[in-house]
Amino acid sequence: MSVSSDSQLGARLRSLRKAANVSATELAEMVGSRRLQILKYEQGINRISAMTLYKISEALKLPLDAFYVDLEDVKLTAILYGSSLGEDSAKA
């Protein structure tokens, strides 16, 4: 069974958000959304619009393609793009 692209993007969002030590609540506030909506994006329940993904990338200080790069290690993405991912303790 294949995983949907919405689920893959959602999983990537969750990984990048956690690596950036940003809670779902904090991210929701940054992008003008609600925590439940962020969690639905991460679970692949709701599709992320292009504008919302842009706002999320700005909030996490990552380029849009960071959500699509096929890398095993999210921290490697941070190194490649010069982000400060993983500097603080993890938040859920």
Residue 48 counted as domain residue: yes
| Domains in the chain, number | 1
Q: At how many degrees (to 10) do helices 24-31 and 50-59 cross?
A: 110
Lookup: tokens for 30? 């940054």
Q: Is the pLDDT of residue 21 over 70?
A: yes
Instruction: Report DSSP letters for 5-68, one per residue.
Output: HHHHHHHHHHHHHHHTT--HHHHHHHHT--HHHHHHHHHTSSPPPHHHHHHHHHHTT--GGGGT
Residue 63 counted as domain residue: yes
Confidence of residue 5 (pLDDT cuts 50, 70, 90): confident
How high does pLDDT run on average in the chain?
81
29-46: pLDDT as tens digits: 999 999 999 999 999 999
Confidence of residue 52 (pLDDT cuts 50, 70, 90): very high
Residue 76 counted as domain residue: yes
